Amino acid sequence: MKKSLLVISLLLLLVVLDAPAQQYKYEVGPSLGMTGYLGDVNNSNLFKHPGITGGAMFRYVHNSRWAFKANLNYASISGNSKDIDMKFPEGQEYDFSSSLIDLGFTAEFNFLNYGRGPTYKKYKPISPYMVAGVGFVFAISNGHNQASFTIPVGIGVKYKFKDRLNLGFEFTMRKEFSDRIDHLSDLFGIKHSFAKNSEWYSFAMFTVTYEFGKRCVKCNYIE
């Protein structure tokens, strides 16, 4: 009797260990990091005057390779013309400090089969990825407001810390098209345009996400 119970216990343990990890469709969590700026008063050192950024993100996990993300961040950027070699007309000096509300919608491509699951699917608990999309920024600079479209592009890495917890780091550059998030424009009398301007800002962020929304499993096929 004891031998039978032992055999049954071992079989149950093997079934539990071999059971595929539950998979989820959504992730949500906070982000925190550092900002950088390139523009009229900083044309070389991205992090000459680093700022901070924090916010929240929502991710839809389409499969182990593709995911789609929405993020909302609050950030600060600043710059000072005293830090660069370029001289402005009549020797003028410029400095600014801006607060940004950044909204982005991006697609992510994982270079590896990210996740946990059956061995034959070769899931990896860690994967680098690339990200690109579209966005919108609202800037408050020296008491003036400015709204603009953006194009975020970048790279990152994800690590599945627990079955439903993910850690990540992401670096993105955001091209904005108003040329006024620093409230400086046309300093040399050359009019900017939608495609001709010098404004970029960056986010280097750490993220923590929690998974929810179980995927439906039918006939051992995960939809």
CATH number at residue 92: 2.40.160.20
What does the pLDDT read at residue 7? 47
Q: Indicate whether 188 belongs to any domain.
A: yes
Q: Indicate whether 94 belongs to any domain.
A: yes
What does the pLDDT read at residue 88? 61
Q: Does pTM surpass 0.95?
A: no
Q: Indicate whether 6 belongs to any domain.
A: no
**Domain total in the chain:** 1
DSSP 66-134: EEEEEEEEEEEEEEEGGGSS---GGG---EEEEEEEEEEEEEEEESS-BS---GGGT-BSEEEEEEEEE
What does the pLDDT read at residue 54? 97
Q: Indicate whether 2 belongs to any domain.
A: no
Q: Indicate whether 115 belongs to any domain.
A: yes
Distance (Å, whole) CA 143 – CA 101: 15
What does the pLDDT read at residue 93? 73
Distances (CA, A) of 203 to 2, 77, 92, 96: 61, 10, 30, 19
Q: Indicate whether 5 belongs to any domain.
A: no
What does the pLDDT read at residue 21? 59
- Backbone φ and ψ of 46, nearest 5°: -60, -40
Q: Indicate whether 15 belongs to any domain.
A: no
What does the pLDDT read at residue 4? 52
Q: Collect the ranges in the chain with pLDDT lower than 50.
A: 2, 5-19, 193-194, 219, 221, 223
Q: Indicate whether 172 belongs to any domain.
A: yes
What does the pLDDT read at residue 25? 94
Quick one: tokens of 69? 């993300």
Give the structural domain span for 78: 25-222
